[in-house]
Amino acid sequence: MKKVLFAGFAFAAMALASCSNEDFSAPVAGDGTVVFTAELPVLGSRAYGDGLTATNLTAYVYSAEAGETEKYLFDKTATFDNLHATVELALVTGKTYKVVFWAQADGAPYSYDTTDQTITVTYGGAANDESRDAFFVTTDAFKVSGPVQQTVQLKRPFAQLNVLTSDYAEALASGVEVKQTGLTMELPSVLNLADGKVDELAEVTFNLSDLPTGTASVGDKTYTYLSMNYILAAADKAVADVKVATDFALNAELSFTAVPLQRNYRTNIYGALLTNPAVFDVEILPGFDDQHNKEIIPAATASDFVTALAAVQDGGTITVTDDIDLTETPDIIIDKAVTIDVPEGKVMKVMRQTPTRAAEITKVASITVLDGATLTISGEGLITGDSRIVDVETGGSLFVEGVTLKTSDRTRGSAITVNPGASAVFNAGFIDAAFCTVWVEGEFTLNGGKLRSTSSNLDGAWSYALRAISETANIVINGGEVEGVQGAVGAYSGNIEINGGYFHTHPIDGKNVNFYALYVADGMGTAVVNGGDFYSEGRADVYLVNNHGSISLRGGRYEDQGLEVCGNDAEGAVVEGTMQPAEGFEWVAVEGNDVFKWTIRPVAE
C-alpha cells in the first residue's frame, strides 16, 4: 500500500515509471499514447473558490482489466496554467485502464492511499484557508486501441462553507470587534475517490485564524466574511450543526443547526449575525459559478407570517421569532419550495385547541403542501393544533428536520397526512399525537426522531401511531422510534419495510389497553422486517391476521415470538400460533437480555 503525502516538492519526485507491481510491464512510449486535458471549473467573478490555488495535478493510473482486481501502476504530475493542465500517459494498446486525478495546492493537508484509492484529510490548523481548495475526478475504465485525446473536468470533494454578516460595521461601532474565527463540527475525514463515499465521521475543530478578506453583495446589502472553510462532504445533501468561534469576548460562539452541506456546493449562512444572531439564512449553491441568494424572512406575529408566506420566494425560509397564533388566519398553502423554521422555545399554533367549530370537523389541514411544492420543517420549537397539522397533496413533498408537532384531538385526525402520490421524509423531531401521528397513503420514510400516539380504545375511536392505510401506501423505516398505546405501526393495506428503529406499546393509566408494536390485518397489508427492536408490554410484539396480509420476518429483536391468527374478530379468529419467520430464517434465543429475548437470523447451514 502506498500513501502519498502532498507537500511542497513531493511532486517533483514522482516519476512516470514508478511502479508498485512487480508483474507490471512498463508501457512502451508511442504504443498507446493517451493525452488528458484536465480542466477546473471557471467562476464568473473573483470569489473564494476560484480554483486558482489548486495548481498541482497528479494522475494515478490503474490496470482495470475485466475480472481482475484493479492494480495501481504509476502516477504522473502536471501543473495547472489558467485552470488547465495536460497529462500525457504512455499506455499499452489493448489494455484497459482507469485514471484517478487529484489537484491541490502545495502543502495542503491531504494524503492519497494508492491501494484503497482514498484521500485522507488532516483537519485542524488554521481556519479560513483558501489554499485547502482541491479537485478530483475518476475516469471510467477505458481500453486503449491507439492514441487518445480526452478532456476531463475536475470537481471539488468539498463543500465550501461560508458565514457572512451584514452588521460588521454596526457591531464595530458598538465595541464588538471580531478579528478571528474558528470552526467546530462533525465531519468525515476520508473520501473514496473510486465510489465517492465518505467515512470516519468525528468532531473537528479549525483553530482561530484571521477573517477572510473581502465582502459579498446580496440585494442591496453588503456582507462581510466571518468564516470560509472547505469541508469534506457526501455527494447527497446532508445537514450538520455548525459552531463558529470568535476571538471576541473570550471566544464567543455562533451556533447554527441543520445546515445543509453537499459536495461541490457552496453553502452560505448569512444575516445580521453579530447584532441579531437568532435571525439568519442558510442557502446551498451548486457549482460555485452562480448566486441565488435568499435572505430569511422573520415572522414575530400572525400578520408577519401571512405577509412572509405571500412574499417568500422559491427556496426561501420563514423563521418564527416569537410565539405565533395562526388560528384566526387563512390556512397555510405551500405552492413552492419553502422552509418553516421554528427555533427552540418558540410556539406556532395552527388551529384552535377545541374541536368544537363545525368548520374544523371537515377541515383538510392547517398547512397544505400542493402538487409540485416542497415544505421543510426545521428547528427545535413547537407546532401545535387540535388535529391535521400538515396535509401533503398528490405530487407534494414534506421534509421534517426537527421541531415538535403536537395534536390534542383524541378521536380524529393526524399530525401529518401523506396522500396518494405524495411523499414525506421524517429525519428528526418529535410527533406527540393524541390520535394518529402519520396517516400514509403515499410514500413515507422514517430515518430518525420519534413518533408517539397516546390513542387507545378508551376514547371510543382509536388509532395506531403510524398507519399504512391504503394499497398506495409505502412506508420505509430506517431508524427512529414509534411508541403507541393502541399500537405502534399498523399496515391495514399497502407496504411497510422496517430496517431499524424501536417500536413499543405500553398500558395507560394502569389499564392494559395497549396492543401490538407491529400489526398487519383488516386489509391486504404487507410488512418486511429486516431489523429493529419490538416490544409490547403484556401483548404479542407482532400480530398478523394471515388471511388479511403478510409479515416477512428476516431480522430484528423481540420480547416474544408474536402471534399469528386466521380471521379477524368478526370472522372468529383462530389462533395459528407464533409468527413464522421468512423462508430461510429462524428464531434464535438471545442470551443475557431481559427485554429482547428473541431474534431472527438466517438458518444456520
CA torsion, points 140, 144, 148, 154, in degrees to nearest 10? 20
CA dist., res. 535 & res. 488, Å (int): 10
Other Cβ atoms within 10 Å of 221 Cβ, number: 16
What percentage of the chain has pLDDT greater than the value 70?
Answer: 84
Give the torsion through C-alpha atoms of 72, 78, 80, 81, to 10 deg: -150
Whole-angstrom Cα distance, residue 367 to residue 370?
10
- The span from the first CA to the last CA of the chain, in angstroms, equals 36
CA distance linking residue 403 with residue 432, whole number of Å: 11
Cα–Cα distance measured from residue 582 to residue 564, given in angstroms and rounded to the nearest whole number: 13
Name the H helices within 226-357. Answer: 302-311
Mean pLDDT of 430-458: 96
pTM above threshold 0.85: no
The length of the chain, given as a count of residues: 605
Q: Is 146 exposed, middle or buried (0-12, 13-18, 19+ CB in 10 A)?
A: exposed
Q: How confident is the model at residue 577 (pLDDT cuts 50, 70, 90)?
A: confident
222 CB contacts (<8 Å, ≥6 apart)?
Answer: 166, 215, 216
Per-residue H/E/C for 1-69: CCEEECCHHHHHHCCCCCCCCCCCCCCCCCCCEEEEEEECCCCCCCCCCCCCCCCEEEEEEEECCCCCC
* 59-71 pLDDT per residue, tens: 999 999 988 989 9
Cell (9 digits) for 63: 490496470
What is each CA distance from 587 to 292, 445, 499, 584, in whole angstroms? 55, 28, 17, 11
Beta carbons within 10 angstroms of residue 5's beta carbon: 12
573 residue type, one letter: A
| Each residue's pLDDT tens digit, 131-183 | 888 888 898 899 988 787 888 888 888 888 888 888 888 888 888 889 999 99
* The predicted structure's pLDDT at residue 180: 92
| Average per-residue pLDDT for the chain | 83
Q: 443547526: which residue's cell?
A: 257
Q: pLDDT digit string (tens) for 12-51?
A: 222 222 333 333 333 333 456 777 776 765 443 334 444 4
Among positive and negative, which fits the CA dihedral 345, 346, 350, 354? Answer: positive
Which set of grid coordinates corresponds to residue 578?
407464533
Mean pLDDT of 376-380: 92
Lookup result for grid cell 419553502: 338
Residues 6+ apart with CB under 8 A from 278: 321, 343
Cα distance between residue 418 and residue 415, in whole Å: 10
Q: pLDDT tens across 466-510, in order?
A: 999 999 999 999 999 999 999 999 988 999 999 999 999 999 888
Give how far Cα 83 sits from Cα of 10, 47, 485, Å: 21, 15, 63
Q: What's the whole-number mean pLDDT along residues 230-235?
A: 88
Residue 420: how many other CB atoms lie within 10 Å: 14
Burial class from Cβ neighbours inside 10 Å (0-12, 13-18, 19+) for residue 206 reads: buried
Concatenating the DSSP letter of every residue in 500-567 gives S-EEEE--BTTB----EEEEE-SS-EEEEESS-EEEETTS-SEEEETTSEEEEE-S-EESS--EEEES
